[in-house]
A and B are shown apart, each in its own frame.
Chain A
């Protein structure tokens, strides 16, 4: 009898454990940790998203490894955890961004987009038969001329950050960001910090094909991905072990 009760709150998403925990949500956070890391850095000039997307085989087409996604002209998302789960949330964000334009003829704010996504995630922690999303997202963009950077987690809680890491080795990368982040850095400085943060947990160094970087700068308010050559150039400049 006791054993069955133990199982009940371990397996049922809508059931609290006696000490008030939702184990399935905590397990979903573990799923996020199993994913490769993504990093977000907010600077005065814009926001940087960087993601580790190293391939498990040299035969895989690199572009099929999706870590950073455009949501609307002015917003991008980086994910860590289950890619398939991320795709669902990204589509919610993309659609909501267009609904906002249709409804108000204005670009969606980064904060309200994030909260649409987290409210959606939360539904899956309270619905019978559902499984929570095994993914965390970084939502980055420009809102009223200001750079914004948010995190979503599997419980459906939104957090706002100056600089943040999600996924594998999160704690170590976060410590690196906390030590090195400076509020006055420019966008290029943000790219450097993001790359250095990812490299700080990769003993073999980074490889331009294994990293994805996107920026949304305050001036153009446009999401833009860095080309592989540009990433290789920076890795060489920062001596982060990129092999050409």
Chain B
């Protein structure tokens, strides 16, 4: 068989390893587990703090799981949140993680956070991971970065960002209290207060908090049943 040059080139909108499962019609939206969720990402000079609640719900009316870890490491110095359909988000995370691994082993340097976010945006746009809206937070040689990725592939960088059903409440908590000079500990406190406020008012969020701290050393993820012990 002659080699087909067209197929040598990587599709920018698809993973190199595996394929993005198509969102087949007739999937029962009502019975798909959703995170509901409040996920917060705050960037500081020393690193990034990501905070998420721990609730999964069915149709927004039933709490289907009370101890979900909605932030996962996807890169030596980056993490991503699960927001929206749990199946879609988990598959998305697996794809991105393997792409980041492949890039690093091939090129002997990790993906930059901007490249990681661009790749995530392309995958979100190229494949129907229905209703996912993750945050990517990470640290590279250019510093700390927080990005949100929307289901249509929109990628936006910011000093802090919030996604999920509790977005309005959590953003209100952070707004006016963020300071680009703040320490990673101060950012941690602010992220906890934001998730706590959302858990009080948003039915899709609650059941404790998971905190990820990302520095140039790596990613630390801790789970807490209550907000006081997270401080």
Contact = CB atoms under 8 A, between A and B. Distances in A.
Contact of B3 (A96, A116, A124): A124
B70 to A, nearest CB: 26
Contact of B10 (A103, A109, A124, A128): A103
B2 A102 contact: no
Interface of B: 1-3, 5, 8-10, 12, 106-107, 111-112, 114-115, 118-119, 122
A92 interface: yes
A218 B89 CA distance: 41
Interface residues of A, number: 23
Nearest to A96: B9
Contacts of A130: 2-3
B115 A95 contact: no
A103 B3 CA distance: 23
Contacts of A96: 9
Given A106-B114, A112-B106, A99 B9 contact: yes
A106 B115 contact: yes
A115 B3 CA distance: 17
B8 A127 contact: no
B118 A103 contact: yes
A175 B112 CA distance: 41
A124 B5 CA distance: 11
Contacts of A115: 106
B9 to A, nearest CB: 6
Contacts of B118: 103-106
Contacts of B112: 104, 106
A111 interface: yes
Interface in A102-153: 102-106, 109, 111-112, 115-116, 119-120, 123-124, 127-130
Given A92-B8, A99-B10, A112-B107, A104 B115 contact: yes
B8 A109 contact: no
Given A92-B5, A104-B119, A115-B106, 14 more contacts: A92-B8, A102-B12, A103-B10, A103-B119, A103-B122, A104-B112, A104-B118, A105-B114, A111-B107, A112-B107, A116-B8, A127-B1, A128-B1, A130-B2
A92 B7 CA distance: 11
Nearest to A109: B107
Contacts of A88: 5
A108 to B, nearest CB: 10
A104 B111 contact: yes
Interface centre among A104, A112, A123, A130 (most CB of B within 10 A): A104
Contacts of A124: 3
Contacts of A109: 107
A106 B2 CA distance: 32
A95 B2 contact: no
Contacts of B114: 104-106
B146 to A, nearest CB: 17
Contact of A123 (B3, B107, B115, B122): B3
A116 B8 CA distance: 9
B124 to A, nearest CB: 13
A120 B123 CA distance: 25
A130 B122 CA distance: 35
Given A99-B10, A103-B122, A106-B112, A127 B107 contact: no
A209 to B, nearest CB: 34
A132 to B, nearest CB: 12
Q: Which 4 A-B pairs have the closest CB atoms?
A: A104-B115, A102-B12, A103-B12, A105-B118
